[in-house]
Amino acid sequence: MIDYKMKIAEIIAKAADMEAEEVCSMIEVPSDEKMGDFAFPCFKLAKVFRKAPPLIAQEIAEKISAEEMFEKVEPVNAYLNMFVSREEMTKDVVSEALAKGEKFAHSDIGAGKKVIVEYSSPNIAKPFHIGHLRSTVIGNSIYKIYDALGYDTVRINHLGDYGTQFGKMIVAYRKWGNEEDVRRDPIKTLLSYYTKFHVEAEKDPDLDQEARDTFARLEKGEPEEKALWQWFRDESLKEFTEVYDMLGIEFDSYAGESFYSDKMQRVLDELNEKGLMKESQGANVVDLEEYDLGTALITKSDGSTLYITRDIAAAIYRKETYDFYRNIYVVASQQNLHFAQWFKIVELLGYEWAKDCIHVPFGLVSLEEGTMSTREGRVVFLKDVLDQAVEKTREIIIEKNVNTDNIDETAAIVGIGAVIFQELSNGRIKDYVFKWDRVLNFDGETGPYVQYTHARAASVLRKAGEDAAKISADVDYTKIRGEVAYSLVKLLHAMPDVVIEAGERCEPSILTRHIIDIAQAFNKFYHDEQILVDDEAEKMAKLALVASARQAIENGLAMLGIKAPERM
């Protein structure tokens, strides 16, 4: 599509004897449509031209108002407000949407560069709970957005399948476990063992040492410990896969912490060679105080490794395996210090690509009764949330007699879409309290609202019958010059830039909000203007805009990891 900002910048630059890039950076999009499609503030030019900004705006307006791309140019105080040709913009948008179809709002700015996105990463043998939903759906959307921007994106699920907790789990299983119970309900059974371990450890502190010793044996590859660990991992993955299937999420790699167990000695050796690692009370640390990052613990006094060691080993492996352009970690803000520490250590090791490792933090989820705690067994299972969302949606579909060919399929698409959309509709950094009625609320600016808008657009096209097959960009654009139609056109025109911004900021909510705006603009167009009119030229023009809006909504939802039903 036409880059109107740059095109306008070139026109103003010529009139004001400036550089186009500088002008482009100053051009704004007014929040009030009455103030134009684009605005150019002249404050900064006062010193250069030695004139009052309103006078500068007036002079530039006189020079550029005759340009064909403008319907109107108005100097208002220190601003130059510009209204572009509605017909030109509408033709530009509709032509692109119809021609690109499923690729509308996509771009090739990524040029095939490799981007790794690590997300979800639940802990083996622990609940896949509502807190994991954020990393899972935010990460999946970032992956899809980067994919749409033309990057070669790799999805990694860095499973938490290593560490002292497995020593605890193995000890608990040996003392109180039952194979039949684990096979029947793996996660909840293993969680009960883990919870009991911490209760008993309060009475008998020796259990903690026994767990540390057990994990040390696991690290050394002792057959019994390794066999139990592998069993816990396999059973957990079966349950995790059920949830991923419900969410429509896949991964290219499930290489978790254990995958790097034989790659950590290299990290320790390099730290020693660089003189970065020091001994402290039997443990090994890296002093980062001069960078205001405290002290990073690398190995415990018993020689066992920690998350930080494995993360460094993983990053080195990924660079050497994938030669990434960006290495993105979608992990809760609780881990801000952890990531800052190991990013700095990688930099101190001399790896220039440390700057390409990016932590994308997000706020925490808590329950109304307090913070979630795996140790205390206070969690909300994610599968339970998704099941309830689907069931509630199914009840609504039946109650409202919704037009659908498959109730169960529609209930799954809308119910799960509602949960995902709600997660992605607010800025990712915000903390929030999990409430069932909030998650399952389908009123207002929600996923079901946007999905219903898509279904409404699809319904209009179905009702158009044979005319729908004749939709093309070759229509009379003077027939769709109305205010509501043009508001929709401008939102569609902005969508590719919104996708780019969402990618650059790793913030899916930017795209989510824009999709809501498009849905609201389409519904206003649908209510205010009759679409299937007798006038053939007007009807075909409006159908072309409907088809463009439907495509934009479908593509936007797809980038969020949500399906767009044809009937609802």
- The tens digit of pLDDT for each residue in 361-419 reads 999 877 676 655 555 556 778 888 899 999 999 998 898 888 788 999 999 999 999 99
Pairing of strands 326-330, 114-118: parallel
Dihedral pair phi/psi, residue 326, rounded to 5°: -140, 145
Q: Is residue 138 part of a domain?
A: no
Tell me which residue of 480, 490, 484 sits closest to 5, measured CA to CA. Answer: 490
What DSSP state is assigned to residue 103? G
Q: What is the rounded distance in angstroms from the CA atom of residue 167 to the CA atom of residue 144?
A: 37
pLDDT of residue 260: 92
Q: What is the rounded distance in angstroms from the CA atom of residue 139 to the CA atom of residue 506?
A: 9
Dihedral pair phi/psi, residue 108, rounded to 5°: -120, 25
The one-letter amino acid at 61: A
Catalytic, out of 5, 106, 114, 129: 129
pLDDT of residue 220: 86
Q: Is residue 59 part of a domain?
A: yes
DSSP H stretches of helix in 101-205: 130-148, 164-176, 179-184, 186-203
Q: Is residue 352 part of a domain?
A: no
Phi-psi region of 332 (alpha: psi -120 to 50; beta: other; left: phi over 0): beta
With beta carbons less than 8 A apart as the criterion, state whether 446 and 520 touch.
Answer: no
Tell me which residue of 102, 137, 142, 147 sits closest to 417, measured CA to CA. Answer: 137
Task: Choose one of 38, 66, 84: the last residue of a domain.
Answer: 84
**Domain at 462, CATH number:** 1.10.730.10
Tell me which residue of 497, 202, 211 sits closest to 376, measured CA to CA. Answer: 202
Per residue in 436-474, pLDDT tens? 777 667 778 899 999 999 999 999 999 999 999 999 999
pLDDT of residue 381: 84
Catalytic, out of 5, 132, 493, 563: 132
Q: What is the pTM of this model?
A: 0.92
With beta carbons less than 8 A apart as the criterion, state whether 57 and 47 touch.
Answer: no
With beta carbons less than 8 A apart as the criterion, state whether 561 and 249 touch.
Answer: yes
Whether 106 sits among the annotated catalytic residues: the reply is no
Report which secondary-structure segment, H or E, holds 476.
none
The region of weakest confidence among 39-53, 332-346, 457-471, 522-536 is 39-53
Task: Choose one of 26, 51, 84: the last residue of a domain.
Answer: 84
Tell me the range of 161-170, 289-298, 302-311 where mean pLDDT is highest. 289-298
* Number of domain units in the chain: 2
Instruction: Give percent above pLDDT 70 in the chain.
Output: 98
| Residues in the chain, total | 568
With beta carbons less than 8 A apart as the criterion, state whether 194 and 168 touch.
Answer: yes
For the segment 531-548, the average pLDDT, to the nearest whole number, is 97
Which three-class secondary structure state does DSSP give residue 493? helix
Structure tokens at 411: 């209930």
Residue 320, judged by CB atoms within 10 A of its CB (0-12, 13-18, 19+), counts as exposed
Range of the domain at 523: 383-560
**How many degrees, rounded to 5, is the angle at CA 25 between CA 19 and CA 31?**
140
The region of weakest confidence among 205-219, 278-292, 430-444, 496-510 is 430-444
Whether 158 sits among the annotated catalytic residues: the reply is no
Q: What is the rounded distance in angstroms from the CA atom of residue 12 to the CA atom of residue 24?
A: 9
Q: Which residues contact 18 (CB under 8 A, 6 or more apart)?
A: 12
Q: What is the rounded distance in angstroms from the CA atom of residue 515 to the CA atom of residue 508?
A: 11
Q: Is residue 393 part of a domain?
A: yes
**Domain at 23, CATH number:** 3.30.1360.70
For the segment 556-564, the average pLDDT, to the nearest whole number, is 98
Task: Choose one of 20, 55, 84: the last residue of a domain.
Answer: 84
Catalytic, out of 126, 144, 158, 493: 126
